[in-house]
Structures are given as C-alpha cells and as structure tokens.
Structure 1
Amino acid sequence: MTEHLDPLNVAYQAFGHFEHGLATGEWQAFINMLSDDFTFWFPVGPYHGLNVGKERAIAFLQYVSESFSEGLTLTLDRVTSNETTVVFEFRDEGLLLGQPYKNRVAVSFDVRGDRLCAYREYFGSDGKSN
C-alpha cells in the first residue's frame, strides 16, 4: 500500500531546497527530489529551451551557482496549484556575475509521487520596478 502524497507539500519541500540552493549553492537536497526522467525548460542562455535528464539539471544548477556566486535571496509572493503542478511566483535579488540583479520569477514544478518530474522557469523583469 502506497501512502498518498500531496503534490503541494512535495512542491513546498522542493521549493525550500531550491531556495536554499539559490542562496548557498548547495543543491543536493533539491537534486535528490528529481525523478530520473526529469526535464526542465529555461528561457535564456546556454540552457534555453527544453533540457532532458537529471545530469543536465545538475549541470544547470552548477551554472546557476557560478552565475550567482554570492547567492540570491527570494521573497515568495504567490503559490498556485492543481493536482500535479505547483507554480511559485517570487522576487529575487543578488549579484549576477558581480552586477546587481533583481527580478520577478515564476517557477512551475510538476510533481509525481515524492519527486519533481519537470520544472519550467519564466522571468523577464529588468528589476527597475517592483
């Protein structure tokens, strides 16, 4: 008998690990929550578009940590969910490659059991307005 896992609770746990990774560069707890067939979509840069596989995700998270070497702080604004997908809207700020950075971001986590099977990120604010 399998215990029913609430996708919202799983997603909140993953988001906590995601936030910790952005702040510290320590991603292992987040990586541990990814399914083996994990996919992610990112809007810009060398990871633009659809990316497939846990190894690709690990490389992406390393890239993020190198880009934000001093970490990012997040302020969660809104959470929206259905039976399988949870969207977190937040503001983040820090240094991007040594330059001041502020943005508004939405990340979408697809949950299967106790794992994330997909991630999509959307952003676009230049940080000049809140």
Structure 2
Amino acid sequence: MKQNSENTLKVAQQAFEYFKHGLATGDWEAFLEILTENFIFWFPTGKFQGWNVGKEQAKEFFAYVSKSFPDGISLNLDSFTYNATTVVFEFKDQGVLFGQSYKNRVAVSFDVDGNKICGYREYFGSDGKSS
C-alpha cells in the first residue's frame, strides 16, 4: 500500500497524543497498541542506546522511562514536519528525573506503515535554564 502524507500525519498525530499521555501518566497501553509487532526504535543514550527491535523491547523501554520520571513529564509542542512516511515532532518537556529538576528540547520521529507506527527515533539536547 502506498502511504500518503495526510494518512501518515493523522496516524502520527494520534500516536503523539498517546505518547504524551504515556509520558504524563505512565500509562503506555494506547501507544503500545498503535505499534507494529516488528517496531524498531533508536534512543541516544543509556540502557537502550542505539537500535532496539520489537514491541516487547518498546514496552520495557517505556516502562523504564516512566520509572525515571515517576511524577510524569509535561511537554509543549513547538512544531512538526512530515512527508509520506515520517512525522517529526519538536517539543520542550519538563519534569523530575531521578529527583532532579529536568527540562529539555526533544525531537521524536515516527515512521508510519498503514495505520501503525513502525519506527521511532528520539533526539534531545538540554536547553539548560532557557524556557
């Protein structure tokens, strides 16, 4: 099936809402449901650094994220861009990471296959004290 940009955007925006909900509450069920079984993801640092494969690995990763931020993370979307298969969301987020105040600028990329997310990449860099 040929992917079209409107469908890609619609699917990715729904996934992003589920992603935001997971970050805020630790409830990743809806986000995990929208992933393909052969889902792949890339994370820049820590225990999950590099490429990771499979929905089970994703479940473990997002559980780890929730443990790292037990009170959740709030985020404010800055912008997004998309093509026929990929949507990139840029946002600022904040919370408490392992007992320390946390603020960051993040870009996440969702790859879409039909009505599911088949890939995820995350990039971030601390913006220090800027808001």
TM over 0.5: yes
Q: Which residue of 2 aligns with 1:117?
A: 118
Q: Which residue of 1 aligns with 2:36?
A: 35
Stretches (4+) displaced over 2 A: 126-130
Q: Deviations over 1:31-89 (max 9, x none)?
A: 00000100000000000000011100000000000000000000000010000000000
RMSD: 1.1
Q: Is the contact made by 1:104 and 1:127 (CA closer than 8 Å) also made in structure 2?
A: no
Offset, 1:124: 1.2
Offset, 1:127: 2.7
Distance 2:108 2:28 in 1: 16
Distance 1:128 1:57 in 2: 31
Over the matched positions of the two proteins, sequence identity in percent amounts to 61
Q: Which residue of 1 aligns with 2:76?
A: 75
Offset, 1:126: 4.4
Q: TM-score, normalised by structure 2?
A: 0.94
- Read off the aligned partner of 1:77 and give its amino acid letter: D
Q: TM-score, normalised by structure 1?
A: 0.95
Aligned residue runs from structure 1 range 14-25, under 5 A: 14-25=15-26
Q: Which residue of 2 aligns with 1:85?
A: 86
Q: Is the contact made by 1:40 and 1:118 (CA closer than 8 Å) also made in structure 2?
A: yes
Distance 1:78 1:127 in 2: 20
Matched residues, number: 127
Q: Which residue of 2 aligns with 1:97?
A: 98
Offset, 1:128: 2.2
Please list every run of 5 or more consecutive structure 1 residues that lacks an aligned counterpart in the other structure: none
